[in-house]
Structure 1
Amino acid sequence: MLQLPPVQRADARFHQVEHDVLQTLKQRLEALETPGELAGPPENLHQLLDVSLEQSRDQAEDMLVRQLLAGLTADEVRILAALSDGSAFPMLALYSGGRFSRGQILFRHSNVGRAAGIQCTDMIGTYLQRLFSQGWVIATGFEEANRTDYELLEGDSGFRRAMSGLQTHWPKVKPHRETLRLGPMGQQMWALLSQPAEADLSGDEE
C-alpha cells in the first residue's frame, strides 16, 4: 500500500516515501500500453462496445486505471496518499442551510493539504470538492481528540475569507466540524492504482 507519512515524521522519511509513491504511480502509468485498445478517445459507444468484445480482464482494468489517473491532479494524488493508510484529518464544511436544515455544501477546508505537501494549498477547497464528487473520499463526524486542530482551521485566514464571502448570500452559513477519510470506493480505486504493474501487460513477454 502506498502511503505518505504523517506531517510529524522526519523530513527525510517524508521525501523518501513521497518519492516511492510517485515513482510507483509513474511506472504504473508507463505500463499502460495495452494492445487492443482505442488509439485515441472513443468517438461513440459503438467503439467502446467493440473494444469490450476483445478486451481481456487485464486490458479492461488498465483502461479503468488510465481513466482514474486522467481524472486526478498531482496534488490530489498527494492528498489520497496521505489518506491511503487509514489516516483521517479534521475538516470544516460550510452548508447553505440554517439551524435545522444544513442544505447544500458550499465549501470544505482541511489541513490534509499541508500534511500531504501539496503545492497549491490555497486550492484545497477545490481539490476536496473534486475528490468528493469523484467518490474518492467521505466525511464522518467530529472527533473530540482533534478539537485543537478544528479551532486552528476555523481561524485560518483563507477559510475565514471564504465563509465571509458566502455569508453575503447565505447569512446562516456556519462551519460544521467533520472528519475527512478515504471512502470504501476510494480504497478500492487506490488499491487498483497502486498495485504493481504486471510484466505481461504490454504483451512483450516473447
Structure 2
Amino acid sequence: MGGISLQSVERSVAQTPLIGQILARLADAERIVIRAIKAHLAEIDPPDDEPPDVATDESPATPTDVLRELLDRSMYSRPDDSRNALYLSLLSDLLPDEARILAALSDGSTYPVIDIAEPLLGTSTVLVLTNASTVGRAAGVSLPHHTPLYVSRLVLAGLAVIGPEGGSAMYDDYEMLLTDAAVNTAIAKARRGIRSARVIRRTVRISELGQELWEAAK
C-alpha cells in the first residue's frame, strides 16, 4: 500500500474550499496573536533606543519646592548652622583673586580707591571707571587689571566697604594709582572738550561681615 505524498494532500486541500478557508483563518488568527504578544512585550520592556512615554517619578524641582525646603530647614536650623551656611555661600561665590584681596584687607588696612567720571553736568554723574585700587597689586592678584571688578564684587557681597578719601598719608598712593593704565584710559574717555574728567578719591577696607568670615575661615 503506497504512502500518501505531501503533494496529494495539498491537492486535496485545494480541492476542498471549506478546509482551505479554515486553515487560512487559523493562519490569520495566529498572526494576530503574535502581533499582540510582541506589542505587549514592547510595552513591558521597551527598546533602549525608544524611551518610554510614561514620565519618571523624579520630576525637576520647581522654585516653589526649593523655597519650601529652605523655609522648612530654617525652622530647625540653629544659629551656628545658619552662620555656617552663610559663610559657605559667601566663600563659594569668591574668586581666587578676590580671596587674596580679602586677605590683604583682613588686617584692617585701608587702600586708596579712585572713580573716574565725566565732567559734572547738572546733578547727573556718569561714571566711566569705578573702584580702581592699588589693593589688587598689593594682594598679588593674578589679574591686576580686573581689580576694579574684584573690589566691586566684594563690596556687593558685603565683605568690603567703600569709605571717604584717605588723609594726607595716602597722597603718594593716590598719585601712584593715577599712573595706572586703566585709570589713564578712563580719564581720556571721560574728558569732554576742554573739561577734564572728574577724579573721585575714596578708600576701601574690610567690612564687619568680611572680618567675621575671615576669622571663621582662616
TM-score, with normalisation over the residues of structure 1?
A: 0.64
SS in 1 for 2:125: coil
1:183 and 2:176 matched: no
Gap regions ≥5 residues in structure 2? 1-60
SS in 2 for 1:44: helix
Aligned residues: 153
In the TM superposition, residue 57 of structure 1 has moved relative to its aligned partner by 3.0
Q: Determine the structure 2 residue equivalent to 1:138.
A: 161
Q: Counterparts in 2 of 1:1-206, with a 5 A limit?
A: 44-95=66-117, 98=120, 101=123, 103=125, 105=127, 106-140=129-163, 141-167=165-191, 173-194=197-218
> For residue 66 of structure 1, what is the amino acid of its counterpart?
L
* Contact preservation (8 Å) 1:96, 1:102: no
* Contact preservation (8 Å) 2:114, 2:201: yes
Q: Determine the structure 2 residue equivalent to 1:29.
A: none
> For residue 98 of structure 1, what is the amino acid of its counterpart?
L
SS in 2 for 1:92: strand
In the TM superposition, residue 102 of structure 1 has moved relative to its aligned partner by 7.1
SS in 1 for 2:173: helix
Q: Distance in 1 between matches of 2:122 and 2:138?
A: 33
> For residue 57 of structure 1, what is the amino acid of its counterpart?
P
Q: Distance in 2 between matches of 1:102 and 1:88?
A: 29
In the TM superposition, residue 83 of structure 1 has moved relative to its aligned partner by 0.7
More helix by share: 2
Q: Distance in 2 between matches of 1:126 and 1:192?
A: 25
> For residue 185 of structure 1, what is the amino acid of its counterpart?
L
TM-score, with normalisation over the residues of structure 2?
A: 0.60
Gap regions ≥5 residues in structure 1? 1-39, 195-206
Q: Distance in 1 between matches of 2:216 and 2:122?
A: 40
* Contact preservation (8 Å) 2:110, 2:203: yes
Q: Which runs of 4+ in 1 moved over 4 A?
A: 99-102
